[in-house]
Structure 1
């Protein structure tokens, strides 16, 4: 039964991502503060996400299991019986630890549409989901193509760390150790070509100082 449910979920997600719609798929709002060929610094506006914690050694399996619960939530498994439109990206945050993927657990996140930002429908308790409000914050972002999976997410995150180490944001990744980095996935699982993924790392700074701490050199 679980296998059939997962296949149905994938099929619906494929339809949402690939079939043109009058209403565009919503994404969190941000401004680009700094851009280079291989990374950029963004300021993400205040936003609310529904979060699914997952204890698993596999990034791929954790994302699959977490999104399965989130999918049930947006299909009506909430106290309002509300159906919530799909958004993007699906964000999997890696929590630091000693596991083989440099992690011990994950949090899979779903960005809530503007209509539900202020008052998210409460999920059914058995789904173990939690709405989380993020303040405006700075994020370093690096894009990569293909499928995000156990074989490449650590490597892609290390590439971003190396790039930041040569930039004016060296040593300014966020001191919040609850999240090591996040992987944002924008496409349906059935899309083969021109896939878009991103590595996100929080950096110190705020919107008022354009994500730059005092004393940083500027271009």
Structure 2
């Protein structure tokens, strides 16, 4: 019980995907992530990031609460990851999905979701450029931080420009020392910055 309260209020002892910091720079980090397994919602076509929000969260939360073929409860992990795919042009719809990291003990054989809108996904080993920022992040803040990161790395990395990730590490009840991130994925074949 004490562990559950600590995890909810303070984000203590939550498991997360393994990564190595390759380079620290002013305003961002270059990281190498190991391959990882996630449980992911179906992408939603939208013009607003908030449309990929609470419904997605509850679909994933239900999965870890036992709405899976093994009726297996799974511990909460971090981050809550959203993949934001931009639409073409100012009024075109993009899409958003949301993922929870599957804990290490289930990485090789996760339970199958019962919800047709939820699936198991696997991210390959990848290089990520991550910008961390504090506070309670809303969609406009994530977009602002993604724009800042794009300016900071302009010409230094060959990243996928058609999408980016938002990563939230804290429960809504955690008041202090909150951690939020935006990620750009470096295209395969590039091993370091272009500088």
TM range (shorter): 0.7 to 0.9
Equivalent residue for 2:186, pick from 185, 192, 203? 203
- Separation of aligned partners in 2, 1:136 and 1:121: 22
SS at 2:150 equivalent: helix
Q: Is the 8 A contact 1:31 1:43 kept in 2?
A: yes
Give the Cα separation in 1 of the matches to 2:167 and 2:97: 12
Show the counterpart of 1:181: 164
Q: Select the residue among 98, 111, 117 that pairs with 2:101.
A: 111
Q: 1:40-189 counterparts in 2 under 5 A? A: 40-53=29-42, 54-98=44-88, 104-126=94-116, 128-165=117-154, 168-169=156-157, 172-174=158-160, 177=162, 180-189=163-172
RMSD over aligned CA atoms reads: 2.5
Secondary structure of residue in 2 paired with 1:151: helix
Q: Which has the larger radius of gyration?
A: 1
1:181 aligns to what SS in structure 2?
A: strand
Q: Give CA-to-partner distance per residue, 1:147-176, whole Å, 9 cap, x none.
A: 22132221110000000016x32xx0137x
Aligned residue-pair number: 191
Q: Where in structure 1 do 4 or more consecutive aligned residues deviate above 4 Å?
A: 98-103
* The structure with more strand, counted as a fraction of residues: 2
Shift of 1:86: 0.4
Q: CA deviation at 1:37?
A: 2.9
Unaligned runs of 5+ in 2: none
1:16 maps to 2:7: yes
Is the partner of 2:109 in helix, strand or coil? Answer: coil
2:24 and 2:183 map into 1 onto residues whose CA distance is 14
